[in-house]
């Protein structure tokens, strides 16, 4: 899983610092939104030809890792 997570980049100059795929302008949340709307891996890869299937797996791995956060701070 760690190798997949290497595909997720945080760069303040790309998409305002949102997590993206390999420093491209494809944000993790875009891919997750597409998947949650029912798009298949195949259709996403057709629509975004510079992506690889490992990029989609990396988005899922990143989201999974975020759900493991154990400490939540209430908003002030």
Domain tally, the chain:
1
pLDDT in tens, 21-69: 999 999 999 999 999 999 999 999 999 999 999 999 999 999 999 888 7
Domain that holds residue 22: 2-65
Could you give the count of Cα atoms lying within 13 Å of 20 in the half-sphere of its Cβ? 14
How far apart are alpha carbons 39 and 59 in whole angstroms?
A: 14
Question: Could you tell me if residue 75 is inside a domain?
Answer: no
Distance CA 62, CA 26 (A): 14
pLDDT band at residue 71 under the 50/70/90 scheme = confident
Domain-embedded: residue 31: yes
Confidence (pTM): 0.84
State CA 69 to chain mean position distance.
17
Q: How confident is the model at residue 5 (pLDDT cuts 50, 70, 90)?
A: very high
Helix (H, G, I), strand (E, B) or coil at 21: strand
Within a domain: 42: yes
The more confident residue out of 69 and 2 is 69
pLDDT for res 47: 96
């Amino acid at each position: 899983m760690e190798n997949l997570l290497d595909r997720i980049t945080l760069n303040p100059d790309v998409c305002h610092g949102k997590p993206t795929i390999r420093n491209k302008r494809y944000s993790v949340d875009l891919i997750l939104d597409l998947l949650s709307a029912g798009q298949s891996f195949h259709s996403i890869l057709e629509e975004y030809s510079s992506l690889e299937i490992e990029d989609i797996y990396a988005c899922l791995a990143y989201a999974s890792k975020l759900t493991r956060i154990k400490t939540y701070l209430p908003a002030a």
